[in-house]
């Protein structure tokens, strides 16, 4: 299968695969994210769900291997022996 670069806005991931940050605060759940991905990428919802699962599984796999995961424009997830997974957000840009 040819992997597309999906357009996603916000913050996903977290310990145990739980959705956190923007999506939890906005009340958005996995089905909402699937609908957005499907619409923005002109693909069936089932394909969007598969892609989302693949991305989340790859993030979790890398974290379990002890590797940091960069989320461009959002921040970095780093595994920590003492506190599970830590999130380091991208610093906010100062207004000009």
**pLDDT tens across 34-84, in order?**
999 999 999 999 999 999 999 999 999 999 999 999 999 899 999 988 878
Q: Are strands 69-71 and 84-89 parallel, antiparallel or unpaired?
A: unpaired
pLDDT band at 24 (very low <50, low <70, confident <90, very high): low
Q: How many domains does the chain have?
A: 1
φ and ψ at residue 15, rounded to 5 degrees: -60, 135
Structure tokens belonging to residue 40: 């923005």
Q: Give the 3-state secondary structure of residue 48.
A: helix
Secondary structure (DSSP) of 66-80: T--EEETTTEEEEEE
Contact yes or no for 77/71 (Cβ under 8 A): yes
What is the CATH number for 34? 4.10.520.10
> Which of 16-20, 74-78, 90-94 has the least mean pLDDT?
16-20
Establish if 22 belongs to a structural domain: yes
Whole domain around residue 37: which residue ranges?
A: 15-89
Q: Give the 3-state secondary structure of residue 22.
A: helix
Establish if 4 belongs to a structural domain: no
The whole-number pLDDT of residue 25 equals 60
């Amino acid at each position: 299968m040819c992997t597309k670069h999906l357009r996603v806005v916000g913050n996903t991931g977290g310990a145990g695969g739980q959705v956190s940050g923007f999506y939890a605060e906005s009340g958005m759940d996995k089905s909402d994210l699937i609908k957005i991905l499907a619409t923005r990428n002109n693909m069936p919802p089932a394909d969007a769900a598969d892609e989302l699962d693949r991305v989340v599984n790859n993030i979790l796999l890398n974290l379990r291997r002890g590797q940091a995961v960069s989320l461009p424009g959002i921040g970095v997830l780093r595994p920590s022996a003492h506190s599970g997974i830590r999130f380091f957000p991208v610093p906010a840009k100062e207004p000009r």
